[in-house]
Amino acid sequence: MDDAIPFMEGVLEPYAEVVYKGGREIGPADVADADALVIRTRTRCDAGLLEGSSVRFIATATIGTDHIDFDYCNTKGIQVTNAAGCNAGGVMNYVFSALYGVASRKGFSLEGKTLGIIGVGNVGKGVERVGSSLGFKILKNDPPRMEREGVYGFSSLEEVLSQSDIITMHVPLEPSTIKMADAAFFDRIRPGSIFINASRGEVVDEEALKKAAPKLGALIIDTWNNEPDIDRELLEMADIATPHIAGYSYRGKQNGTAASVRALARFFSIEPLYGFFPKTDILELESIKVDLKGKSQGEIASVLQYNYPIFTDDFMLRMDPKGFEHMRSHYQYRREFYID
């Protein structure tokens, strides 16, 4: 069990022996006699870790699954589950707090702007819904959905890049998306555009991004290549830089842990945990609705910053880039807000 997964202590102990360890520190000796693993993205689940073990089930309390070798797990009969959509609300909060925050700092208007969304899964859909309610024109690109659903309502990548004032990435990390944001990608972006990456670091070619940065209106980065050893030059170029915590809302972490426990409970027939959801008495961290209808850009920025003061996270990372992993693992989960 990754010891950074919240709300887990004491949940499984009545039914199993539980060993907690840092995600990066989990090794073959730790899993040799384990029946199940509950992890985050910091634990690479492949033959190097699992060969010869008794692991039958893996739950990752994350939406991403690129740290899991599915081919290997399938050949060994290991069932794998993830927490799809668990952090969609938190990432949506991040995108709009960052967008309105940087617009206020740099003094530009968002009125009439076009928001381009690349990757329209659970997170992208939330960004689309809120962006539409705030008056943005929406362009969206998602090749897998276009293949399944048809092209109506979607745009080509070329159209999104050349016609958007704001581009936000929400794609999974897989072979087709590694370094998709390369030199050719940034060449197509119109000068003065805002670029946001809150998906996975490796979807961006950071050398290409650094060359493109001077022409961007603003650069917002939450996910990086080579975490936690991030590129310091790119950190200095970013208008907002955070340590891969876009989805770290209190509700998002509750959702992720609940999904992992419920899946594990069903696999091992632990009926008392079928409907598990972490309880809390911390009322100030319960999700709230914010009403932005009829408000000016400045008023919206103020409401969003009050509910998620994103520049605090930015400041903390800049003060101690070497502390990236510590900040991420010991993050004080923030209250999630939702917008009609």
| Domain locations in the chain as residue ranges | 23-82+250-273, 88-247+294-339
pLDDT digits (tens, 9 = 90+) for 78-112: 999 999 999 999 999 999 999 999 999 999 999 99
Using 50, 70 and 90 to split pLDDT, how confident is the model at 280? confident
Using 50, 70 and 90 to split pLDDT, how confident is the model at 340? confident
Enumerate residues 6+ apart whose C-beta is below 8 A from 164. 114, 115, 116, 139, 189, 190, 193
pLDDT digits (tens, 9 = 90+) for 117-162: 999 999 999 999 999 999 999 999 999 999 999 889 999 999 999 9
Marked catalytic residue, from 40, 200, 262, 328:
200
End-to-end CA distance of the chain: 37
Q: Which fold has domain 23-82+250-273?
A: Rossmann fold (3.40.50)
What is the phi-psi region of residue 14: left when phi exceeds 0, alpha when psi lies from -120 to 50, beta otherwise?
Answer: alpha
Cβ(42)–Cβ(61) below 8 Å:
no
pLDDT digits (tens, 9 = 90+) for 35-84: 999 999 999 999 999 999 999 999 999 988 999 999 999 999 999 999 99
Marked catalytic residue, from 56, 190, 227, 266:
227
C-alpha 113, offset from chain centre: 24
Q: Which two tokens stand for residue 84?
A: 């799809």
Residue 16 has what DSSP assignment?
S
Mean per-residue pLDDT over the chain, rounded: 96
Q: What CA–CA distance (Å, rounded) separates 66 from 83?
A: 13
Does the active-site annotation cover 200? Answer: yes
Q: Let me know if the fold of 23-82+250-273 is the same as that of 88-247+294-339.
A: yes
If you average pLDDT over residues 250-257, what whole number do you get? Answer: 94
Enumerate residues 6+ apart whose C-beta is below 8 A from 214. none
pLDDT digits (tens, 9 = 90+) for 179-189: 999 999 999 99
> What is the CB neighbour count within 10 angstroms for residue 74?
11
Q: Which fold has domain 88-247+294-339?
A: Rossmann fold (3.40.50)
Q: What CA–CA distance (Å, rounded) separates 127 from 144?
A: 18
Q: What CA–CA distance (Å, rounded) separates 261 from 308?
A: 28
Spell out the SS3 assignment of 191-244: CCCEEEECCCHHHECHHHHHHHHHHCCEEEECCCCCCCCCCHHHHHHCCEECCC
Tell whether the model's pLDDT for residue 281 goes beyond 90. Answer: no
pLDDT at 247: 95
Task: Indicate whether this model's pTM tops 0.85.
Answer: yes
